[in-house]
Amino acid sequence: MAAFLVATAAGCARRGDGGSRAGVTRAPRVAVGCPATGAGALGDGTTHGESVRGSARWTAAGSPHRAPFGVHVERDAELVIEPCATVLVGEGGAVTVHRGATLRAEGASDRPVRFARLVAAGAWRGLAWEPTASGRSILAHVVVAGAGAAQDRGEVPASLRIAAASGPRLDTVAVEDGEGWGAALLGEGRFGAPSDGLTVRGDRGAGPLLVEDVGAVGDLPSLTVEGAAPRDVSLACRSRTLRRSAIWSSLPDGVRYRVRRAMHLVVEGAAAPVLTLAPGVRIAFEDGAELDVGFGAPGGLVAAGTALHPVVFEGADDARWIGVHLGPALDGARSHLDHVRIEHAGAESDTVLPGCDVPGGHAGQAMLTLHGVLPPELFRGVAFVDGPPAGYAVVVGGDLGAPPRPVGPAADFTRSGVQSAVRPPLVRGACPERAAVPR
């Protein structure tokens, strides 16, 4: 967030040098029809200075609209861009929406608005919304091409860079040939609601989408990824705790949610949030990452897979991640795991019986850990695949007696080490009085 503000302030400081940047050069002739892509199809166009104040309207007739030094939509200003209009931004420039300001680029399916680079070899930084932008911005039938230039001030490079909690509403937006992320939701940044239809095409950067607050994931628009590598939606999660119930939809064509290294993805809070994962959702965990539900406060997990479209928790790049931990405050009445696969989990963790001599392997390695009473219908088919060779598929803590029936017959332990039930309550840093003999 700080990097975003520093970069913006530096951009504003440039506005004072040179009166030529503040002027507007009108087109001696207008473009005819709707220019599709290249500047060669356009008229002489209009050259703009860096600042938009009050209300401004950029027309199709005045295209291409050239912004050699970028554009700052100043405090409480509004910039409206007509269907068919083309905006060309200079190398290293950006279109930045400031406090209380609005950007409305509303094209149509056959008359899109296009943002592109002014110089063929000069990538620009993209469209950016500050945290205090108005919340009234709209991008409808818009193409953003050749953006996402790297910034040497620590700014996250992205074609769409959104730090506003009420960010732009998207309706059929394509990001093409980007240099950074397709879109980045920074801090508390969100897409406006309802948003639908984001396509990332031919991106050469870090991936299609970066999300820093897990609370924003449930409001993502439908996503199409064409040719971008890597393809995962990355959860950087400076705000890692989901405090309100959310549904995470499945992503297309093998695209996954990716939890960054050593991050705890947490579901809990005063509102007893439930994370619901739709059929086909895949979440990839990097080294040392884990999913924790219902530890410090109530929380629930619904993994609603099907036989054809299971919910998959797996290691990113086959990494050994820690696993899924369901805590004593788990909302068991609203939690269940249907047709779920847990793969490559079981990295060492001090969460599971640190330093205890439990038969069968390392006490600190388990794919799934259950702290407290296990509801009898929690599992409706769980597969444990490629577990820790010297660890456990399941560790159950609490005074449970024999392991509940669904942990055994309802589960598949393919190449997953041993199943174990630990009967005394699990206490961080303490060992149980006895442990069950491994299955």
**DSSP state string for 265-331:** EEE--TT--EEEE-TT-EEEE-TT-EEEESSSS-BEEEEE--SSS-EEEEEGGG--B-EEEE-TTB-
In a domain, 250, yes or no: no
pLDDT score of 371 more than 90:
no
Least confident of 156-160, 353-357, 363-367: 353-357
In terms of domains, do 204 and 346 share one? no
DSSP per-residue string spanning 349-398: -TTS-TT---TTS-TT-EEEEEES---TTSEEEEEEES--TTSEEEEEES
Instruction: Specify the pLDDT at position 374.
Output: 64
Q: How confident is the model at residue 400 (pLDDT cuts 50, 70, 90)?
A: very low
pLDDT score of 139 more than 80:
yes
In a domain, 253, yes or no: no
In terms of domains, do 274 and 417 share one? yes
Q: How confident is the model at residue 16 (pLDDT cuts 50, 70, 90)?
A: very low
pLDDT score of 158 more than 50:
yes
Residue with the bigger pLDDT between 206 and 427: it is 206
pLDDT score of 80 more than 70:
yes
The listed range with the strongest mean pLDDT (15-24, 43-52, 158-167, 314-323) is 158-167
Residue 367: domain span: 261-439
Record the pTM.
0.82
As for how many domains the chain has, the answer is 2
In terms of domains, do 280 and 148 share one? no
H/E element, 96: strand 94-97
- Cα torsion at 61, 62, 65, 66 (round to 10°)? 140
In terms of domains, do 88 and 225 share one? yes
In terms of domains, do 57 and 1 share one? yes
Instruction: Specify the pLDDT at position 29.
Output: 35
- For residue range 197-224, what is the model confidence (pLDDT) as tens digits? 999 998 677 899 999 999 999 999 999 9
In terms of domains, do 214 and 105 share one? yes
Beta-bridge mates of residue 257: 233, 283
In a domain, 149, yes or no: yes
In terms of domains, do 280 and 232 share one? no
Percent of the chain predicted with pLDDT > 90 = 56
Q: How confident is the model at residue 355 (pLDDT cuts 50, 70, 90)?
A: very low
In a domain, 249, yes or no: no
In a domain, 431, yes or no: yes
